[in-house]
């Protein structure tokens, strides 16, 4: 009788172990799901597969850049890239764009010397992070004007939130166009007066317009963009941002896309010896964890980079 009892206990123990081993994966999954209600684990697996696929295509096609996980990949391209080319002002609005001023009279009329084959701003304001708000248009405009001010020895941190919240065009986290006209009139506000929150906040009144631009100009070809970067400090422009662009981690970006532009950035330098005939040094607004500490080398013309090129004078 005792022997049968021992056998029964052993069998019950074995059955219990088998049951636990059977249920453990589902219990573990349930625990992970409860601790991860927004599906971050599934998203990481999706990104891992996407990164592997991109790396395979990069290797197969001999591209010159690398991709990897970065903080910007927690957002969708739709959240990050809300530059809207359809919001470009009509020709009749150019006087308003220039603030009623004559832009030509304020430009140095001496013929510019040919740009060198390499130039890179050694001093530029820190890379910022727009986060999930589609305000790249504001960061592009502010980043460009910060570069222009640096040419005059002024290290300023301008408020992108003021552009997002106080523009009169209805632009915001849902997108916008280059905001040069607001730096012509009424001027630029400092970050410490209206700090960035990555939200469509109500406009904050009472901020001082510390810096007012003199004129706004468009540039389209490589030589003109180079001259503007060298002489004025930086060029704001559009680019087509794809998943490859979002996952960029280093090298010379040469994944060309002919889709419409959707993202606004700042060009701060160039190197004619990189890539297939030269590359721009691009400053992004997705934080220091993206690319090369927030920066990128991208081949001239690749993915429409340089489209809508523009700069301010001060």
* Residues designated as active site: 136, 263, 284
Q: With beta carbons less than 8 A apart as the criterion, state whether 238 and 263 touch.
A: yes
Which among 277, 233, 281 has a CA at the least distance from the CA of 124? Answer: 233
Q: Which tokens sit at 167?
A: 């523009």
CA distance 218 to 235: 9
Q: How many CB atoms lie within 10 A of CB 225?
A: 23
Select from 243, 242, 217, 237 the least CA-distant residue to 301: 237
Place of tokens 């631009």: 213
CA 259 from centroid of its chain's CA atoms: 17
Q: Copy the structure tokens of residue 273.
A: 């010896």
Taking a C-beta distance cutoff of 8 angstroms, is the pair 30, 36 a contact? no
Who contacts 201 (Cβ-Cβ below 8 Å, separation ≥6)?
161, 164, 165
Distance, in Å, from the CA atom of 56 to the CA atom of 50, rounded to the nearest integer, reads 10
Residue with tokens 């030509």: 104
């Amino acid at each position: 009788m005792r022997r049968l009892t021992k056998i029964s206990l052993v069998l019950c123990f074995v059955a219990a172990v088998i049951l636990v081993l059977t249920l453990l994966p589902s219990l573990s999954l349930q625990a992970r799901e409860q601790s991860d209600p927004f599906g971050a684990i599934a998203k990481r697996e999706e990104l891992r597969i996407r990164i592997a696929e991109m790396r395979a295509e990069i290797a197969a096609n001999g591209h010159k850049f690398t991709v990897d996980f970065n903080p910007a990949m927690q957002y969708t391209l739709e959240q990050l890239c809300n530059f809207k080319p359809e919001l470009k002002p009509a020709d009749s609005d150019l006087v308003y764009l220039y603030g009623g001023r004559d832009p030509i009279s304020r430009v140095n009329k001496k013929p510019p010397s040919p740009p060198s084959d390499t130039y890179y701003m050694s001093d530029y304001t820190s890379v910022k992070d727009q986060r999930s708000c589609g305000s790249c248009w504001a960061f592009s405009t502010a980043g460009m004007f910060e570069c222009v001010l640096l040419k005059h020895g002024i290290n300023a941190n301008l408020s992108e939130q003021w552009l997002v919240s106080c523009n009169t065009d209805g632009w915001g986290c849902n997108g916008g166009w280059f905001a040069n006209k607001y730096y012509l009139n009424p001027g630029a506000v400092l970050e410490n007066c209206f700090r960035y929150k990555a939200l469509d906040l109500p406009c904050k009144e009472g901020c001082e317009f510390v810096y007012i631009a003199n004129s706004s100009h468009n540039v389209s070809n490589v030589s003109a963009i180079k001259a503007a970067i060298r002489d004025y400090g930086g060029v704001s422009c559009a680019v087509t941002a794809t998943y490859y662009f979002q996952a960029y981690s280093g090298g010379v970006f040469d994944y060309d896309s002919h889709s419409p532009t959707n993202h606004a950035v700042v060009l701060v330098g160039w190197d004619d010896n990189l890539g297939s005939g030269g590359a721009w040094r691009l400053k992004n607004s997705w934080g220091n964890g993206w690319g090369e500490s927030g920066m990128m080398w991208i081949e001239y013309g690749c993915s429409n980079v340089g489209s809508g090129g523009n700069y301010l004078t001060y």
